[in-house]
Amino acid sequence: MVAVDRSLTPRGEERRAQLLEVATARFAERGYRATSIADIVDSMGVGKGVFYWYFRSKEELFGYLLSAGMTDLRRCQLAAVSHSDDPLVRIPAAIRAAVRWAAEHQQLTALFEFAHRDATFGPLARRLQDLLIDDAVNELRAAMDAGAIRRGDPIGQARAILAVTDALATHGLHDAHRSIDEVTDDIVVFCLDGLGGRKGSPVPSLKPAV
Amino acid sequence: MVAVDRSLTPRGEERRAQLLEVATARFAERGYRATSIADIVDSMGVGKGVFYWYFRSKEELFGYLLSAGMTDLRRCQLAAVSHSDDPLVRIPAAIRAAVRWAAEHQQLTALFEFAHRDATFGPLARRLQDLLIDDAVNELRAAMDAGAIRRGDPIGQARAILAVTDALATHGLHDAHRSIDEVTDDIVVFCLDGLGGRKGSPVPSLKPAV
């Protein structure tokens, strides 16, 4: 994804990380169109040459932020599910990791929301979201094979889980001002029950052992 | 909502209905921006004066189509739930009515999708969707009071149901080419289970008695 594939010194890595951070903040604050490369480098107190050392264009930088963001979210989910082979532990863990990631990366989440509605970045946003769907489909297939949830169309179910997560997290965190844990409990219960995974039994260890 | 509040003759009513139908088709086909008042009246074989007899502007007409569409959808849902006092019959009936309405009004549904993403019409689209949410919240509150579903935040749950319906209908009908009945069964099962409304018992009469 990075156009300019240079071997970076530690100082170069640091400056690149700073560029990504500043760009994410500016894009989230003012929007993609209203943010220029000049705005970004001005915030860093450097010239435009620094920008072009790392990226060919604003568009390329934005696409990189989305791709790297999705990689990070999927890595967090993978780490979260890796502690268990039980689908009824793994599925809630993956949901929990996604909500926590979104809460901890609100600026990046705002960039994804913009990208989904944008003509230029919509196709990339959908391709990246499909990776998330694929991960969920794999979990759901394994859960069906293990008899842990009802058999059904795993792609539809994966999309339903993402939709519930988005709807309940947006409402619960932004409108109803509830805690991440409360909101995530609601999402997990709705989704696990919706998948036919709980069958009236209590959800084991909804709260993570802190 | 109609700017020009005239008493219409039967002939006038008919022409107005034709104008609404033609405009809906043109907007759905070409998009709101690319469709002019001239395009609409040309398709009807009349002059622009006919348009301005009914509406002050293209913007007003489009807002009217959205408002009237939402009124019709809510009327269909109200009719569908009116046959029973049982929340576990009413909630599936409302979901089923919404999916069926969207399938039967694909052009209007496309206009809603455009409106939600649009800066001008987004606020109206959200106000209209909030009416749908309010209806659902009333059903969910009654269901909680009757002990038919788990207690929870009814606004969040209403948003979750709308999100699941949208995700599963879009995927099932457009991507997976399944029938409306199959897709609606999946939505009803996911939502009723997600609300804690089935508790492992079979869903009564998923298929409407035709």
Distance from the Cα of A188 to chain B's closest Cα (Å) equals 9
A97 and A78 in contact (C-beta within 8 Å)? no
Interface test with A, best of B116, B161, B164, B179 (most A CBs within 10 A): B164
pLDDT for position A28: 97
Superfamily (CATH H level) for B1-56:
Homeodomain-like (1.10.10.60)
Nearest CA in chain B to A172: B156
Contact A157 B190 (CB under 8 A): yes
Contact A176 B155 (CB under 8 A): yes
pLDDT for position A210: 42
The domain segmentation of chain A, as residue ranges, is 1-56, 59-194
pLDDT tens-place values along chain B, 210 residues long: 445 667 788 888 899 999 999 999 999 999 999 999 999 999 999 999 999 999 999 999 999 999 999 999 999 999 999 999 999 999 999 999 999 999 999 999 999 999 998 989 999 999 999 999 999 999 999 999 999 999 999 999 999 999 999 999 999 988 888 999 999 999 999 999 999 987 655 554 445 444
Interface test with B, best of A159, A179, A189, A191 (most B CBs within 10 A): A159
CATH number listed for the domain at residues A59-194: 1.10.357.10
Q: Which of A167, A191, A194 sits opposite B159 (nearest CB)?
A: A167
Q: Which of A178, A190, A199 sits opposite B194 (nearest CB)?
A: A190
A168 and A186 in contact (C-beta within 8 Å)? yes
Secondary structure (DSSP) of A139-166? HHHHHHHTTSS----HHHHHHHHHHHHH
pLDDT for position A10: 87
Q: pLDDT tens-digit profile of A30-89?
A: 999 999 999 999 999 999 999 999 999 999 999 999 999 999 999 999 999 999 999 999
pLDDT for position B209: 43
Contacts of A137 in chain B (CB under 8 A): none
A159 and B171 in contact (C-beta within 8 Å)? yes
In this structure, what token pair is assigned to residue A173? 């965190």
Contacts of A190 in chain B (CB under 8 A): 157, 160, 194-195
pLDDT for position A15: 93
Distance from the Cα of B64 to chain A's closest Cα (Å) equals 24
Angle between helices A10-30 and A106-117 (to 10 degrees): 60
Q: Which of A150, A163, A200 sits opposite B164 (nearest CB)?
A: A163
Contacts of B189 in chain A (CB under 8 A): 150, 194, 196
Contact B164 A162 (CB under 8 A): no
User: CA-to-CA distance for B124 and B119, rounded, in angstroms?
Assistant: 10
Query: What's the residue count for chain B?
Result: 210
User: CA-to-CA distance for B19 and A142, rounded, in angstroms?
Assistant: 53
Amino acid at A85: D
pLDDT for position A12: 87
Instruction: Name the fold adopted by B64-194.
Output: Tetracycline Repressor; domain 2 (1.10.357)
Q: A111 touching B, CB under 8 A? A: no
Contact A164 B162 (CB under 8 A): no
CB-defined contacts A:B, below 8 A: 87
Residues of chain A with pLDDT under 70: 1-5, 199-210
pLDDT for position B5: 64
Share of chain A above pLDDT 90, in %: 81
Distance from the Cα of A101 to chain B's closest Cα (Å) equals 20
Distance from the Cα of A70 to chain B's closest Cα (Å) equals 20
Q: A194 touching B, CB under 8 A? A: yes
